[in-house]
A = this chain, B = another copy of it.
Protein backbone atom coordinates (compact mmCIF):
# COMPACT_ATOMS: atom_id res chain seq x y z
CA UNK A 1 0.00 0.00 0.00
CA UNK A 2 1.37 3.42 -1.00
CA UNK A 3 0.32 6.40 1.10
CA UNK A 4 0.60 9.92 -0.23
CA UNK A 5 1.29 12.69 2.25
CA UNK A 6 0.54 16.32 1.47
CA UNK A 7 3.40 18.17 3.08
CA UNK A 8 6.96 16.98 3.53
CA UNK A 9 7.76 18.46 6.93
CA UNK A 10 8.77 16.72 10.12
CA UNK A 11 5.28 15.33 10.68
CA UNK A 12 5.39 13.63 7.28
CA UNK A 13 8.86 12.37 8.08
CA UNK A 14 7.74 10.82 11.36
CA UNK A 15 4.63 9.36 9.73
CA UNK A 16 6.81 7.61 7.17
CA UNK A 17 9.14 6.23 9.83
CA UNK A 18 6.13 4.83 11.70
CA UNK A 19 4.63 3.39 8.55
CA UNK A 20 7.48 1.46 6.95
CA UNK A 21 7.36 -1.27 9.63
CA UNK A 22 3.64 -1.70 8.88
CA UNK A 23 4.53 -2.51 5.30
CA UNK A 24 3.46 0.86 3.90
CA UNK A 25 5.36 2.94 1.39
CA UNK A 26 5.25 6.72 1.03
CA UNK A 27 5.16 9.53 -1.48
CA UNK A 28 5.25 13.11 -0.23
CA UNK A 29 4.26 16.33 -1.96
CA UNK A 30 5.92 19.55 -0.95
CA UNK A 31 6.89 22.71 -2.80
CA UNK A 32 10.30 22.69 -1.11
CA UNK A 33 12.92 20.29 -2.50
CA UNK A 34 14.76 20.01 0.81
CA UNK A 35 11.72 19.10 2.91
CA UNK A 36 12.53 16.76 5.85
CA UNK A 37 10.35 13.87 4.69
CA UNK A 38 12.08 13.85 1.32
CA UNK A 39 15.15 12.16 2.80
CA UNK A 40 13.21 8.96 3.28
CA UNK A 41 10.25 9.00 0.94
CA UNK A 42 9.62 9.38 -2.75
CA UNK A 43 9.20 13.14 -3.02
CA UNK A 44 7.25 15.21 -5.54
CA UNK A 45 8.29 18.84 -5.53
CA UNK A 46 5.19 20.74 -6.62
CA UNK A 47 2.73 23.33 -5.49
CA UNK A 48 -0.32 22.15 -3.52
CA UNK A 49 -2.67 24.07 -5.80
CA UNK A 50 -1.33 22.76 -9.11
CA UNK A 51 -4.03 20.32 -10.20
CA UNK A 52 -1.86 18.78 -12.89
CA UNK A 53 0.77 18.08 -10.27
CA UNK A 54 -1.88 16.70 -7.93
CA UNK A 55 -3.08 14.35 -10.68
CA UNK A 56 0.46 13.08 -11.21
CA UNK A 57 0.92 12.73 -7.46
CA UNK A 58 -2.24 10.64 -7.13
CA UNK A 59 -1.26 8.01 -9.71
CA UNK A 60 -0.73 4.67 -7.98
CA UNK A 61 -1.57 5.90 -4.48
CA UNK A 62 -3.91 3.85 -2.30
CA UNK A 63 -4.56 6.61 0.21
CA UNK A 64 -3.77 10.26 0.79
CA UNK A 65 -3.30 12.05 4.10
CA UNK A 66 -1.80 15.41 5.09
CA UNK A 67 0.51 16.67 7.73
CA UNK A 68 -0.51 20.32 8.10
CA UNK A 69 -3.92 21.85 8.39
CA UNK A 70 -3.51 24.63 5.85
CA UNK A 71 -3.69 22.23 2.92
CA UNK A 72 -6.04 23.93 0.43
CA UNK A 73 -9.44 22.29 0.87
CA UNK A 74 -9.99 22.40 -2.88
CA UNK A 75 -6.82 20.40 -3.41
CA UNK A 76 -7.91 17.80 -0.87
CA UNK A 77 -11.30 17.57 -2.59
CA UNK A 78 -9.65 17.35 -6.02
CA UNK A 79 -7.60 14.40 -4.81
CA UNK A 80 -10.63 12.83 -3.15
CA UNK A 81 -12.19 12.29 -6.57
CA UNK A 82 -9.20 10.05 -7.41
CA UNK A 83 -8.20 8.37 -4.17
CA UNK A 84 -9.40 8.14 -0.54
CA UNK A 85 -8.31 11.18 1.49
CA UNK A 86 -8.19 11.00 5.29
CA UNK A 87 -8.83 12.84 7.58
CA UNK A 88 -11.90 13.93 5.58
CA UNK A 89 -11.55 17.32 3.89
CA UNK A 90 -14.54 18.48 5.95
CA UNK A 91 -12.27 18.39 9.00
CA UNK A 92 -9.84 20.65 7.19
CA UNK A 93 -12.61 23.09 6.34
CA UNK A 94 -13.77 23.21 9.94
CA UNK A 95 -10.35 23.71 11.44
CA UNK A 96 -9.07 26.27 8.93
CA UNK A 97 -11.48 28.96 10.11
CA UNK A 98 -11.39 29.84 13.80
CA UNK A 99 -14.97 31.10 13.74
CA UNK A 100 -16.32 28.00 12.02
CA UNK A 101 -14.26 25.84 14.40
CA UNK A 102 -15.46 27.51 17.60
CA UNK A 103 -19.05 27.55 16.36
CA UNK A 104 -18.68 23.84 15.63
CA UNK A 105 -17.44 23.18 19.18
CA UNK A 106 -20.38 25.19 20.51
CA UNK A 107 -22.88 23.26 18.41
CA UNK A 108 -21.52 20.00 19.86
CA UNK A 109 -21.86 21.28 23.44
CA UNK A 110 -18.12 21.66 23.92
CA UNK A 111 -17.38 24.74 26.05
CA UNK A 112 -15.18 27.47 24.53
CA UNK A 113 -14.16 30.90 25.76
CA UNK A 114 -16.74 33.52 24.70
CA UNK A 115 -16.08 34.67 21.12
CA UNK A 116 -17.65 36.76 18.42
CA UNK A 117 -17.11 37.39 14.73
CA UNK A 118 -15.44 40.68 13.78
CA UNK A 119 -15.67 41.97 10.21
CA UNK A 120 -15.60 45.70 10.90
CA UNK A 121 -14.33 48.26 13.38
CA UNK A 122 -17.94 48.53 14.56
CA UNK A 123 -18.00 44.76 15.26
CA UNK A 124 -14.81 45.16 17.26
CA UNK A 125 -16.28 47.98 19.38
CA UNK A 126 -19.39 45.88 20.02
CA UNK A 127 -17.24 42.88 20.96
CA UNK A 128 -15.30 44.91 23.51
CA UNK A 129 -18.57 46.19 24.94
CA UNK A 130 -20.24 42.79 25.14
CA UNK A 131 -17.36 40.40 25.95
CA UNK A 132 -14.88 42.83 27.46
CA UNK A 133 -11.11 43.01 27.77
CA UNK A 134 -8.57 41.47 27.99
CA UNK A 135 -9.22 39.64 24.75
CA UNK A 136 -7.57 38.17 21.69
CA UNK A 137 -8.12 39.44 18.18
CA UNK A 138 -7.19 36.82 15.62
CA UNK A 139 -7.43 36.30 11.89
CA UNK A 140 -9.94 33.56 11.23
CA UNK A 141 -7.65 31.80 8.77
CA UNK A 142 -3.98 30.83 8.35
CA UNK A 143 -2.82 31.51 11.88
CA UNK A 144 -0.26 29.20 13.48
CA UNK A 145 2.38 29.34 16.19
CA UNK A 146 0.92 32.59 17.53
CA UNK A 147 0.99 34.40 14.18
CA UNK A 148 -1.94 36.57 13.07
CA UNK A 149 -3.14 37.40 16.55
CA UNK A 150 -2.99 40.24 19.04
CA UNK A 151 -3.63 40.46 22.75
CA UNK A 152 -5.91 43.38 23.55
CA UNK A 153 -5.52 44.72 27.07
CA UNK A 154 -6.82 48.21 26.35
CA UNK A 155 -8.94 50.03 23.77
CA UNK A 156 -5.68 51.44 22.41
CA UNK A 157 -4.43 47.93 21.72
CA UNK A 158 -7.61 47.38 19.76
CA UNK A 159 -6.87 50.39 17.54
CA UNK A 160 -3.34 49.18 16.87
CA UNK A 161 -4.44 45.60 16.21
CA UNK A 162 -7.14 46.81 13.85
CA UNK A 163 -4.57 48.77 11.85
CA UNK A 164 -2.70 45.52 11.14
CA UNK A 165 -5.46 42.93 10.99
CA UNK A 166 -8.46 44.98 9.81
CA UNK A 167 -9.69 44.00 6.37
CA UNK A 168 -9.65 40.21 6.72
CA UNK A 169 -12.26 38.16 8.61
CA UNK A 170 -11.44 38.19 12.33
CA UNK A 171 -12.56 36.58 15.55
CA UNK A 172 -12.61 38.25 18.95
CA UNK A 173 -12.11 35.90 21.87
CA UNK A 174 -12.30 36.47 25.57
CA UNK A 175 -8.85 35.97 27.10
CA UNK A 176 -9.82 33.73 29.95
CA UNK A 177 -7.38 33.59 32.84
CA UNK A 178 -6.74 29.86 32.48
CA UNK A 179 -4.61 27.85 34.88
CA UNK A 180 -3.02 25.70 32.25
CA UNK A 181 -3.24 24.43 28.69
CA UNK A 182 -3.77 20.77 27.89
CA UNK A 183 -4.39 18.79 24.75
CA UNK A 184 -5.91 15.48 23.88
CA UNK A 185 -4.91 13.25 20.99
CA UNK A 186 -7.63 10.97 19.75
CA UNK A 187 -7.61 8.39 16.99
CA UNK A 188 -10.60 7.19 15.03
CA UNK A 189 -10.34 4.53 12.40
CA UNK A 190 -12.28 4.24 9.14
CA UNK A 191 -14.11 1.41 10.94
CA UNK A 192 -15.24 3.78 13.72
CA UNK A 193 -12.92 2.39 16.40
CA UNK A 194 -11.79 5.21 18.71
CA UNK A 195 -8.97 5.57 21.23
CA UNK A 196 -7.65 8.50 23.24
CA UNK A 197 -4.26 9.24 24.76
CA UNK A 198 -4.01 10.71 28.24
CA UNK A 199 -4.26 14.51 28.43
CA UNK A 200 -0.98 16.34 27.96
CA UNK A 201 0.01 19.61 29.62
CA UNK A 202 1.52 22.12 27.20
CA UNK A 203 3.73 25.13 27.78
CA UNK A 204 4.12 27.72 25.06
CA UNK A 205 6.79 30.38 24.64
CA UNK A 206 6.40 33.21 22.11
CA UNK A 207 3.32 31.46 20.76
CA UNK A 208 5.18 28.20 20.04
CA UNK A 209 4.92 24.91 21.89
CA UNK A 210 8.01 24.55 24.02
CA UNK A 211 7.33 21.77 26.50
CA UNK A 212 4.75 19.00 26.88
CA UNK A 213 4.29 16.82 29.95
CA UNK A 214 2.58 13.45 29.56
CA UNK A 215 0.44 12.66 31.32
CA UNK A 216 -0.58 16.17 32.41
CA UNK A 217 0.42 16.54 36.09
CA UNK A 218 -2.39 15.81 38.57
CA UNK A 219 -4.50 14.35 35.81
CA UNK A 220 -7.85 13.19 37.15
CA UNK A 221 -10.77 11.36 35.62
CA UNK A 222 -12.69 14.61 36.09
CA UNK A 223 -10.55 16.13 33.33
CA UNK A 224 -9.74 13.07 31.22
CA UNK A 225 -13.33 11.90 30.89
CA UNK A 226 -14.87 15.08 29.46
CA UNK A 227 -11.84 15.53 27.19
CA UNK A 228 -12.42 12.07 25.75
CA UNK A 229 -16.14 12.71 25.43
CA UNK A 230 -15.55 15.98 23.56
CA UNK A 231 -12.95 14.43 21.29
CA UNK A 232 -15.20 11.50 20.48
CA UNK A 233 -18.07 13.86 19.68
CA UNK A 234 -15.87 15.77 17.22
CA UNK A 235 -14.53 12.59 15.63
CA UNK A 236 -17.95 11.09 15.12
CA UNK A 237 -19.50 14.31 13.84
CA UNK A 238 -16.78 14.69 11.22
CA UNK A 239 -16.82 10.97 10.24
CA UNK A 240 -13.18 11.28 11.04
CA UNK A 241 -10.31 8.91 10.34
CA UNK A 242 -6.82 9.57 11.69
CA UNK A 243 -5.38 11.42 14.67
CA UNK A 244 -7.10 14.59 15.85
CA UNK A 245 -5.68 16.96 18.45
CA UNK A 246 -7.80 19.35 20.51
CA UNK A 247 -6.23 22.02 22.70
CA UNK A 248 -8.07 23.12 25.81
CA UNK A 249 -7.69 25.78 28.47
CA UNK A 250 -8.28 24.57 32.03
CA UNK A 251 -10.09 27.00 34.34
CA UNK A 252 -11.54 26.01 37.71
CA UNK A 253 -11.17 22.36 36.76
CA UNK A 254 -13.15 22.77 33.54
CA UNK A 255 -12.08 22.43 29.91
CA UNK A 256 -12.56 25.15 27.29
CA UNK A 257 -11.72 24.17 23.73
CA UNK A 258 -9.27 26.53 22.08
CA UNK A 259 -8.58 24.87 18.75
CA UNK A 260 -8.18 21.58 16.99
CA UNK A 261 -5.77 20.18 14.45
CA UNK A 262 -6.89 17.42 12.05
CA UNK A 263 -3.49 15.73 12.00
CA UNK A 264 -0.73 14.32 14.14
CA UNK A 265 0.33 17.02 16.57
CA UNK A 266 3.48 18.38 18.17
CA UNK A 267 2.06 17.75 21.65
CA UNK A 268 1.93 14.04 20.79
CA UNK A 269 5.56 13.50 19.78
CA UNK A 270 6.30 11.91 23.15
CA UNK A 271 4.16 8.93 22.10
CA UNK A 272 7.01 7.57 19.93
CA UNK A 273 8.79 6.31 23.04
CA UNK A 274 6.25 7.05 25.76
CA UNK A 275 3.18 5.15 24.56
CA UNK A 276 2.64 1.57 23.47
CA UNK A 277 1.58 2.88 20.04
CA UNK A 278 2.77 6.24 18.72
CA UNK A 279 0.37 8.85 17.36
CA UNK A 280 2.07 8.41 13.97
CA UNK A 281 1.44 4.68 13.85
CA UNK A 282 -2.12 5.09 15.08
CA UNK A 283 -2.79 7.75 12.44
CA UNK A 284 -1.70 5.29 9.75
CA UNK A 285 -3.57 2.39 11.29
CA UNK A 286 -6.68 4.60 11.49
CA UNK A 287 -6.65 5.85 7.90
CA UNK A 288 -5.90 2.42 6.47
CA UNK A 289 -8.62 0.68 8.47
CA UNK A 290 -6.26 -1.41 10.58
CA UNK A 291 -7.04 -2.06 14.25
CA UNK A 292 -5.86 0.82 16.44
CA UNK A 293 -2.99 0.23 18.84
CA UNK A 294 -3.31 0.73 22.58
CA UNK A 295 -2.65 4.25 23.78
CA UNK A 296 -1.29 3.13 27.16
CA UNK A 297 1.69 5.04 28.43
CA UNK A 298 5.04 3.45 29.23
CA UNK A 299 6.07 5.32 32.38
CA UNK A 300 5.84 9.08 31.96
CA UNK A 301 7.25 11.42 29.38
CA UNK A 302 8.17 14.97 28.53
CA UNK A 303 8.84 16.56 25.16
CA UNK A 304 10.93 19.68 24.62
CA UNK A 305 11.04 21.33 21.21
CA UNK A 306 14.37 22.32 19.67
CA UNK A 307 13.74 25.75 18.20
CA UNK A 308 16.10 27.99 16.24
CA UNK A 309 19.45 26.51 17.26
CA UNK A 310 20.69 22.97 17.81
CA UNK A 311 21.78 21.94 21.30
CA UNK A 312 25.01 20.03 21.94
CA UNK A 313 24.14 16.61 20.56
CA UNK A 314 26.63 14.73 22.74
CA UNK A 315 25.27 16.35 25.89
CA UNK A 316 21.67 15.51 24.97
CA UNK A 317 22.53 11.90 24.19
CA UNK A 318 24.32 11.59 27.54
CA UNK A 319 21.01 12.02 29.38
CA UNK A 320 19.93 8.44 30.12
CA UNK A 321 16.22 8.87 29.30
CA UNK A 322 16.58 11.32 26.42
CA UNK A 323 15.62 10.51 22.84
CA UNK A 324 16.78 12.93 20.19
CA UNK A 325 14.67 13.60 17.12
CA UNK A 326 16.21 15.89 14.54
CA UNK A 327 14.26 16.83 11.45
CA UNK A 328 17.19 17.40 9.09
CA UNK A 329 16.49 21.14 8.82
CA UNK A 330 19.04 23.97 8.76
CA UNK A 331 18.96 26.16 11.89
CA UNK A 332 17.01 29.41 11.56
CA UNK A 333 15.38 31.61 14.24
CA UNK A 334 11.98 30.34 15.41
CA UNK A 335 12.24 27.21 13.28
CA UNK A 336 11.34 23.85 14.83
CA UNK A 337 14.48 21.81 14.20
CA UNK A 338 13.68 18.78 16.30
CA UNK A 339 12.52 17.65 19.68
CA UNK A 340 13.78 15.70 22.65
CA UNK A 341 11.62 13.18 24.45
CA UNK A 342 12.31 12.08 27.98
CA UNK A 343 10.80 8.65 28.54
CA UNK A 344 11.10 8.02 32.27
CA UNK A 345 10.13 5.40 34.80
CA UNK A 346 9.04 8.03 37.34
CA UNK A 347 7.93 11.64 37.59
CA UNK A 348 10.99 12.30 39.78
CA UNK A 349 13.37 11.05 37.09
CA UNK A 350 11.56 13.22 34.57
CA UNK A 351 11.81 16.28 36.79
CA UNK A 352 15.49 15.66 37.36
CA UNK A 353 16.33 15.23 33.69
CA UNK A 354 14.20 18.19 32.64
CA UNK A 355 16.41 20.21 34.98
CA UNK A 356 19.47 18.88 33.21
CA UNK A 357 17.96 19.59 29.80
CA UNK A 358 17.48 23.21 30.83
CA UNK A 359 21.26 23.55 30.94
CA UNK A 360 21.29 22.61 27.23
CA UNK A 361 18.15 24.31 25.95
CA UNK A 362 16.60 27.48 27.36
CA UNK A 363 13.04 26.79 28.40
CA UNK A 364 10.81 27.56 31.35
CA UNK A 365 9.74 24.92 33.84
CA UNK A 366 6.82 26.55 35.61
Contact = CB atoms under 8 A, between A and B. Distances in A.
Interface of A: 13, 16-17, 20-23, 25, 39-41, 276, 285, 290-291, 293-294, 296, 298-299, 313-314, 317-318, 320-321, 323-326, 328, 338, 343
7 contacts: A13-B20, A17-B17, A21-B323, A22-B326, A40-B41, A291-B317, A293-B317
A16 B41 CA distance: 12
A324 B294 CA distance: 13
Contacts of A343: 276
Nearest to A41: B40
Contacts of A285: 317
Which residue, A20, A291, A326, A338, has most C-beta atoms of chain B within 10 A?
Answer: A20
Contacts of A294: 320-321
B20 A20 contact: no
Contacts of A16: 40
Nearest to A277: B323
Copies in the complex: 2
A285 B324 CA distance: 12
Contacts of A293: 317, 320
Contacts of A41: 40
Top 6 A-B pairs, shortest CB-CB distance: A23-B326, A40-B40, A21-B325, A291-B318, A291-B317, A294-B320
- Chain A contact residues: helix, strand, loop or mixed: mixed
**Highest count of chain B CB atoms <10 Å: which of A13, A324, A325:** A324
A317 B290 contact: yes
Contacts of A20: 13, 17, 39-40, 328
A314 B276 CA distance: 17
A150 to B, nearest CB: 37
B23 A328 contact: yes
Nearest to A325: B21
Interface centre among A13, A291, A325 (most CB of B within 10 A): A291
Contacts of A321: 276, 294
Given A21-B325, A40-B40, 8 more contacts: A20-B39, A23-B328, A276-B320, A276-B321, A290-B313, A291-B317, A291-B318, A293-B320
Contact of A290 (B13, B25, B314): B314
A155 to B, nearest CB: 49
A213 to B, nearest CB: 19
